[in-house]
Structure 1
């Protein structure tokens, strides 16, 4: 058995389907199925029961998954210990990152980092901040939106102002009634928008809610005139010259989404992690308005 085999079992348990796991680890579905069959043959028992909805662990599978978790954790611990004793910066850097930040900012940041430190292996997971928070201890660093993590060291990266866009004007002194398009995000984002709409119900009244899966889909729907959309500046700054918009404000203050870099106490003893944190906190994100 290889470390990759144990890691695959953990990914199958996390994702819950062979198809989803294949997509996550970037290999074909038949290859995942074949590898799982090899692992089950190696242990001489089924590890998962295939159901229409998801994979379910067998009693023996639970024992094997616990073993897999221990093996992967020990391997990571050994690599991290070796990284601390080496003059060369290497080892694994595990990052959990908000989808928006991973699309907008992280590629360039990681490109520079890996060019400087090619011996470091990047382990990256992206998703909604609320999901990342539930498993934050599985990663060296987390880059999240909204509320910062409790019981963690958190560094503010930047504040992202929110704007409401439309293809139609926002007339002063007149109620605007239009559908509102939103994208899948964590509860804190929806709470900010709902609170702002509540305090401005004399100006804007959503006729109906349209929810899409991704922020880019939300932007494209708005551009086609389907309705209004609340978007952070980080993904909409270039749209301001082309589409009517207003800034979200409450009591004269901008409504913003906070972006945080969070990590556990002591993790900076790992050189590859400490360097990444220092590189990230030196970045400027929005028009020189880094906070």
Structure 2
């Protein structure tokens, strides 16, 4: 039995289906089925009962799953002790990062970091913050937007003010009715925008909402006059000098998106993690 076999069992139990597990670990469904059969033949026990909706561990399967979790934890603890024992900054640095931050800021940060610590291996995953929250335990460091991560140590990196842009002016004496262009993000971003629009419905009324996949697409649609767009300052570049815009404010205070670096307690004992967190906290993200 390999450590990968134990990890597969735990992932099958977490996801609940062979198809879903195959998608998560990026191998084919038949390969997952074949590996599971090998493990069950090895122990001579049925580990999961296949039902139409999900896999259900058998009593023997529960015992094997508990053992698998202990093996994985022991393996991780051994790797941690070996990395801590090394004086040179090396090892793997696993990062999950918000797509916006990974596009706008992370390349320069990682470029400088890898130049300084060339023996550190970077394991990077990017996506929306909502997805990162669900898998945060799989990474050394998570850089997310919106609310900070519970059950983790979190450091606020910066607050990102929001603005609504358009090619047409925002009149102060009449209702502005225009389509609204939205980009794929987590629920907290949409809640901020919806709440602001609700409190300003006497001034701005979206006629309809167009949803695009990426923030850059949203910007380009707005620039072509297809509608209004709410964008964070971090990606607006020179747009405030070129296009009519209004800052999002409630009760005289700017509406902002917080950006956090979050990590588990104790993980900063790894030199590569500690140096990367220091690099983040020493970065000036907005002027």
TM-score range, shorter chain: 0.7 to 0.9
> In the aligned structure 1, how far is the partner of 2:214 from the partner of 2:67?
36
SS of residue in 1 equivalent to 2:226: coil
1:183-223 per-residue CA deviation (whole Å, 9 max, x = no partner) reads 33233222221222122222211122333443334334434
- Ranges in structure 1 where 5+ consecutive residues have no aligned partner: none
> In the aligned structure 2, how far is the partner of 1:259 from the partner of 1:7?
32
Cα RMSD after superposing both structures: 3.4
Aligned to 2:254: 254
Corresponding position: 1:88 with 2:88: yes
Moved more, 268-277 or 106-115: 106-115
Structure 1 position 26, deviation (Å): 6.0
SS of residue in 2 equivalent to 1:164: strand
Q: Tell me if the contact between 2:197 and 2:204 (Cα under 8 Å) persists in the aligned partners.
A: yes
TM-score (norm 1): 0.78
Moved more, 194-203 or 207-216: 207-216
1:62-103 per-residue CA deviation (whole Å, 9 max, x = no partner) reads 655554443333222111111111112223333332232223
Corresponding position: 1:117 with 2:109: no
TM-score (norm 2): 0.79
SS of residue in 2 equivalent to 1:285: coil
> In the aligned structure 2, how far is the partner of 1:66 from the partner of 1:265?
24
Structure 1 position 278, deviation (Å): 1.0
Corresponding position: 1:106 with 2:134: no
1:108-147 per-residue CA deviation (whole Å, 9 max, x = no partner) reads 3233323333433334343333443455444332222122
> In the aligned structure 2, how far is the partner of 1:73 from the partner of 1:50?
29
Structure 1 position 258, deviation (Å): 0.9
Aligned to 1:214: 214
Aligned to 1:227: 227
Aligned to 1:190: 190
> In the aligned structure 2, how far is the partner of 1:43 from the partner of 1:220?
57
> In the aligned structure 2, how far is the partner of 1:17 from the partner of 1:239?
47
Task: Indicate how the Cα distance of structure 1 residues 23 and 56 shifts in structure 2: closer, same or farther if over 3 A, else same.
Answer: closer
Aligned to 2:273: 273
Task: Indicate how the Cα distance of structure 1 residues 177 and 64 shifts in structure 2: closer, same or farther if over 3 A, else same.
Answer: farther
Q: Which has the larger radius of gyration?
A: 2
- Ranges in structure 2 where 5+ consecutive residues have no aligned partner: none
| Number of matched pairs | 285
> In the aligned structure 2, how far is the partner of 1:113 from the partner of 1:183?
30
Q: Tell me if the contact between 2:13 and 2:57 (Cα under 8 Å) persists in the aligned partners.
A: no
